[in-house]
Amino acid sequence: MEVFKICREKYANELNASYAANRWNKKEEFVIYAGGSRSLSTLQKVVHSAAINISGPYKLLTISIKHKVSIKELAIKDLPENWNTIEGYIELREIGSKWYNSLETLVLKVPSAIISQEYNYIINTKHPLFAANIILKSAVDFVWDKRLL
C-alpha cells in the first residue's frame, strides 16, 4: 500500500514526524500524517500551512506500508459529531493519543476533514514495527500549481 506526503525538500530525505499537536495527536506523540492520494495530500498541505512559498523546493513523498501491517480504521459514525471542525480537535486528540500509546496498530486510517470520503493515514513512528514496515519509496520534485494558492 502506498500513501503520500508533501514536504519541503530539506525534510524529504527521511521519514520525519512532527512533535507538535495536531488533529489526531498530542504534543510529543511522534506521528506521520499521510494522504491516501497525491491530490488529497496536496489539499492537506494547503489547508494546514500558514504560508507556502511556491518558489521554494518541495517534494512529494511516496511511503510504502507493507501489506502485512494491521491498520485500525475509524469510520465517521465512530467519531464525535464535530469531528471535522477545529472544536473537535480535543476529542480527536484523545482518540488518537489512546491509539498511539496502546501500540494496537502501526497505522490509523481516518476520514479526511477536507473530503470525508477519502482517508488520511497516521503512522506511529514509535511503534516497534515502524522501521521494518514503513519505507520511504521515493521523493520526487513537487511543483505547485499557482491556481491553488
Q: What is the pLDDT of residues 24-83, one digit of tens each?
A: 999 999 999 999 999 999 999 988 876 777 778 999 999 999 989 999 999 999 999 999
Measured from the Cβ of residue 8, the count of other Cβ atoms closer than 10 Å reads 14
Mean pLDDT across 129-149: 93
User: Cell numbers of 35, please?
Assistant: 494522504
Give pLDDT, residue 90: 95
Q: Which domain holds residue 121?
A: 2-144
Q: Is residue 149 part of a domain?
A: no
Q: Quick: pLDDT tens for 105-134.
A: 999 999 999 999 999 999 999 999 999 999
Using CB atoms within 10 A of its CB, is residue 102 exposed (0-12), middle (13-18) or buried (19+)?
A: exposed
**Residue 75, in any domain of the structure:** yes
Q: Does 26 map to a domain?
A: yes
Give the pTM: 0.94
127 assigned to some structural domain: yes
Per the structure, the count of domains in the chain is: 1
Residue 37 lies in a domain: yes
In a domain, 65, yes or no: yes
